[in-house]
Amino acid sequence: MEKLDQYLIIIEAFQLLLFSTILFFNPNSKNISRKILGILFFVLLLIYGNLGLFYLGYTKPAEKLFYLFSASILMVLPFFYLYIKSLTTENFIISKKMLKHFIPAIAVFLINTPLYAMLDPAQKAWFIEYGYIEFSDEMELRILTIISTGVSYVILLIQLIFYTYHIIKALKEHKRNIGQIFSNFKRKKLNWIRYIIFLFFIVFIFNNIFLQTEATNIINLRIIYNIAVIILTFFLGFAGMRQIDIYAGIDLLTTYNDNTLGKRKNAIKQDQGIQTANEKYGTSGLSETEKRRIVVLLNQHIANDKLFLNPDLKIADVSKAISVTQKNISFAINESLNTNFYHFVNRFRIEESKTILSEDTNNHFSIEGIAQKSGFNSRSSFYTAFKKYAGKTPGEYRMHHRKN
């Protein structure tokens, strides 16, 4: 079992190094999200590498690097949060304000480094093995132990609650925002992030209940822990590599929600024949006449040119077709029709699919084939939308028209 434990440690360390290198240094990707994720994997490598060196018997290198351990732990959730923000924010850039997320890690590093440098080799070896579960009589070791346990049981728990809340909030806002921009949600909803959070909770609880105690000597628990970490990091790395740059080419400046509406009013530019924003027109700066005009243009072009048949249709494509800014299209759809771009386009697709389903000459088409001919990119999204708007499944709708 000791050999298995060691092999798992080596596999996880190699996996972290591989993902970190691929995500950060890949010359084919200038995606800031992947670079942030690459840094996160490097931080995880520092944490796991420290523990791995110790359990593999390389105590000397572990002793030299262990002062980075607590500070590195406090960098994991901030980097993960910034990664999520980079995925869910249009034109995301790294700013100085983001450094505030790393204040706890920097503070712990500045305190730990001089204290750890004062320890002799025997004290360092003791701290690595017992520093999280026992208190020494020696002042330096006692302070380091207090910091280490405080990081594990207090600060990290606060971080977990704080960042989980803000990540879930960001994901909810993102779900609303993509409905304003895209006509399909494939690889855009980021549901996999929720699974990552759930797995992280499990690993965190397991780590704090068992591995911060003498249970670290129970080899079976270490093996379970190592397997869980391998699964978690592989899932995160693989999903991160597959994740597309969601907002690439989008020009909405900010997303459409109540919190940013005021900022967007100042960003509205003049369309062909449409006035700029003005307070007298209310929330968006568009008059009712202007909104109706945009809606008429939308209906004409999307229906007549069958733009909805493009499964990857974006609000940017429609903007070019009708020469109206993306912002004003979004405003008009939201305020005149009380819906978003996603549902607006899907209504055209549903009407198209109804026409196909009701004609006997199309009986040879499967439901999947009809979904594709109507502009949907998946059977599941077609079923969900059809049931929502038609009140029955495509199969039920077809049978109904055959009987009649």
pLDDT of residue 84: 94
Question: Residue 154 class from Cβ within 10 Å (0-12 exposed, 13-18 middle, 19+ buried)?
Answer: exposed
> Among positive and negative, which fits the CA dihedral 204, 210, 212, 215?
negative
| Residue 15 pLDDT level (bands cut at 50, 70, 90) | very high
- Write down the number of H helices and E strands in the chain: 18, 0
pLDDT of residue 273: 41
State the Cα–Cα distance between residues 8 and 187, nearest whole angstrom. Answer: 31
Q: Is the pLDDT of residue 147 over 60?
A: yes
Mean predicted confidence (pLDDT) in 196-225: 74
Buried/exposed 240-266: b ≥16 CB within 10 Å, e otherwise: beebebbbeebebbbbbeeebeeebbe
More confident residue, 203 or 74: 74
pLDDT of residue 248: 72
| Residue 210 pLDDT level (bands cut at 50, 70, 90) | low
Q: Which two tokens stand for residue 252?
A: 């909405």
State the Cα–Cα distance between residues 304 and 307, nearest whole angstrom. Answer: 8
CB distance 129 to 161 below 8 Å? no
CA angle at 191 for the pair 190 and 195, rounded to the nearest 5°: 120
Q: Which fold, 2-242? A: Rhopdopsin 7-helix transmembrane proteins (1.20.1070)
- In the block, tokens 């499944």 appear at 393
| Residue 86 pLDDT level (bands cut at 50, 70, 90) | very high
CB distance 160 to 204 below 8 Å? yes
Q: Which of 165, 155, 171 is nearest to 204 (CA)?
A: 155
CB distance 63 to 128 below 8 Å? yes
Mean predicted confidence (pLDDT) in 245-272: 49
* Cβ neighbours of residue 376 closer than 8 Å, sequence gap 6 or more: 184, 311, 349, 353, 382, 385
Mean predicted confidence (pLDDT) in 36-51: 92
Mean predicted confidence (pLDDT) in 225-239: 91
Chain segment 88-124, per-residue pLDDT in tens? 988 888 899 999 999 999 999 998 889 888 888 888 8
Bridge partners of 182, per DSSP, are 314
Of 31-35, 150-154, 316-320, 368-372, minimum mean pLDDT range: 150-154
* Cβ neighbours of residue 144 closer than 8 Å, sequence gap 6 or more: 112, 115, 116, 119, 127, 131
What CATH number matches the domain at 341-404, 2.60.40.10, 3.90.1300.10, 3.40.1160.10, 1.10.10.60?
1.10.10.60
Chain segment 313-329, per-residue pLDDT in tens? 999 999 999 999 988 99
pLDDT of residue 262: 41
CB distance 22 to 241 below 8 Å? yes
Chain segment 365-399, per-residue pLDDT in tens? 888 999 999 999 888 889 999 998 888 899 888 88
Q: Is the pLDDT of residue 264 over 50?
A: no
For residue 275, what is the DSSP state? P
For residue 245, what is the DSSP state? -
Q: Which of 270, 355, 364 is nearest to 306 (CA)?
A: 355
- The whole-chain average pLDDT of the chain stands at 83
Mean predicted confidence (pLDDT) in 285-295: 88
Q: Which two tokens stand for residue 140?
A: 């330096």
pLDDT of residue 91: 82
Q: Which two tokens stand for residue 268?
A: 């509205």
Q: Is the pLDDT of residue 201 over 80?
A: no
Q: Give the helix ranges, DSSP H, for 118-218.
A: 121-130, 139-150, 156-181, 192-206
Q: Where in the chain is the domain with CATH 1.10.10.60?
A: 341-404
pLDDT of residue 134: 74
Q: Which of 379, 403, 378, 404 is nearest to 393 (CA)?
A: 379
CB distance 271 to 265 below 8 Å? no
Q: Where in the chain is the domain with CATH 1.20.1070?
A: 2-242
| Residue 344 pLDDT level (bands cut at 50, 70, 90) | very high
